[in-house]
Chains A and B, each alone.
Chain A
């Protein structure tokens, strides 16, 4: 074989190696978001297992809302705080919605991990599920990012059930109202103040200008 042919063959070999490595890199890039989601699920599974052991009792007693005022109540969005990325998030309870295969933990309101980029966030103005006639408010991102814990909430309809486990009690809720509000920095909540409720808030599916508010009423509770 001549020198020129040898050089050509070596170049071809290098091209094949580089091409194959690029293909593997491309496949890795395409599957990155899938594996990132699996990673978050793995951390979530471990967090849930750890929090079931380390569950702390936290009750917040707030002044009950004005029962006469059945109109809208502005709710401020939580401030963004910078916290270091945790290895394990200390959950105090879980939110489960079987209809969309969602089971996620939530942290205490005063936890540094109560941030929409780490977990389903409990708003500061929220009460906890064990407060009579209170309103337990949870927010999370929708969309396709790994932190979009409420990505499938749009599939829910009035009548769907949700469960919250908190302080060794399992609370059952049912959706009674779904409505949309403009993104203005605060959200109007329309709920029955004679009932114990839960509110889920997230960005509206395929609409960057609105947020969807799900109002759920507590139906029953069962000790674990």
Chain B
């Protein structure tokens, strides 16, 4: 496979559109929907908004019903890879998780709008995940593990255990944050209703 320029890609894309009337039809429909919505942004016509939304949903339903086998197979494969990366993350995935944990911790610690419960949850999970990260680094250095190869990483049972614990903790942390956010939304909704009524 050789790289091609952006201009050549556009030409090939045009050829692809013209090769099948279905592609051309879909392209025209999407362009029209885009124009409807684009021109309606300032006017804010509710009928147009509903019409465009219904058409988008209809198109998605058509694609899903027509190609549901492929879509289901694709979704199944996606979940398979997600679960594989949850239990056996590559080094890159693990570093992304560590980076995310830093970002979540820093953002929630220094932002005033988060409650003390959320900050305590974040501190607990963040601390433990960072501790596991340090253990991970020590194991990699002492056992001289090649972190560029996923298979080399998982030949060590200790490293496997540390990585799996980190990923499970991170997942639980995200779930806890989602539940806390959801409860906060419900409370906010009912508090707002009370204020309006009183």
A-to-B contact residues, CB < 8 Å: 1, 5-6, 9-10, 12-13, 16-17, 20-21, 35, 38-39, 41-43, 45-46, 49-50, 53-54, 87-88
Q: Does B186 contact A (CB under 8 A)?
A: yes
Q: List 15 A-B contacts (CB under 8 A).
A: A5-B197, A6-B194, A12-B190, A17-B182, A20-B182, A35-B83, A38-B83, A39-B87, A42-B87, A42-B88, A46-B88, A49-B151, A50-B154, A53-B151, A87-B160
Main secondary structure of the interface of A (DSSP, over half): helix
Residues of A within 8 A of B194 (CB): 1, 6, 9
CB nearest neighbor in A for B185: A17
Residues of B within 8 A of A41 (CB): 80, 83-84
Q: Does B99 contact A (CB under 8 A)?
A: no
How far apart are the CA atoms of A42 and B179 in the complex, in Å? 27
Q: Does B43 contact A (CB under 8 A)?
A: no
Interface residues on B, range: 20 to 34
Given contacts A1-B194, A9-B194, A87-B160, contact A45 B186 (CB under 8 A): no
CB nearest neighbor in A for B164: A87
The reply to whether A46 and B186 contact each other, CB–CB distance below 8 Å, is no
Main secondary structure of the interface of B (DSSP, over half): helix
CB nearest neighbor in A for B183: A17
Residues of B within 8 A of A17 (CB): 182-183, 186
How far apart are the CA atoms of A50 and B153 in the complex, in Å? 10
The reply to whether B154 and A46 contact each other, CB–CB distance below 8 Å, is yes
CB nearest neighbor in B for A47: B154
Closest Cβ of chain A: how far from B99's Cβ, in Å? 23
Closest Cβ of chain B: how far from A24's Cβ, in Å? 8
Q: Does B5 contact A (CB under 8 A)?
A: no
The reply to whether A13 and B186 contact each other, CB–CB distance below 8 Å, is yes
Of residues 32 through 78 on chain B, the ones whose CB sits less than 8 Å from some CB of chain A are none
Q: Does B157 contact A (CB under 8 A)?
A: yes
20 A-B pairs besides A1-B194, A10-B190, A42-B83 with CB distance below 8 A are A1-B197, A5-B197, A6-B194, A13-B186, A13-B189, A17-B183, A20-B182, A21-B179, A38-B79, A39-B83, A39-B87, A41-B83, A42-B80, A42-B87, A45-B84, A46-B154, A49-B150, A50-B154, A53-B155, A88-B154
CB nearest neighbor in A for B195: A1
Residues of B within 8 A of A5 (CB): 197
CB nearest neighbor in A for B79: A38
Closest Cβ of chain B: how far from A23's Cβ, in Å? 11
Q: Does B177 contact A (CB under 8 A)?
A: no
Chain B 150-170 interface mask (CB, 8 Å, partner A; 1/0): 110011010011000000000
Closest Cβ of chain B: how far from A91's Cβ, in Å? 13
Given contacts A38-B83, A41-B83, A53-B151, contact A13 B198 (CB under 8 A): no
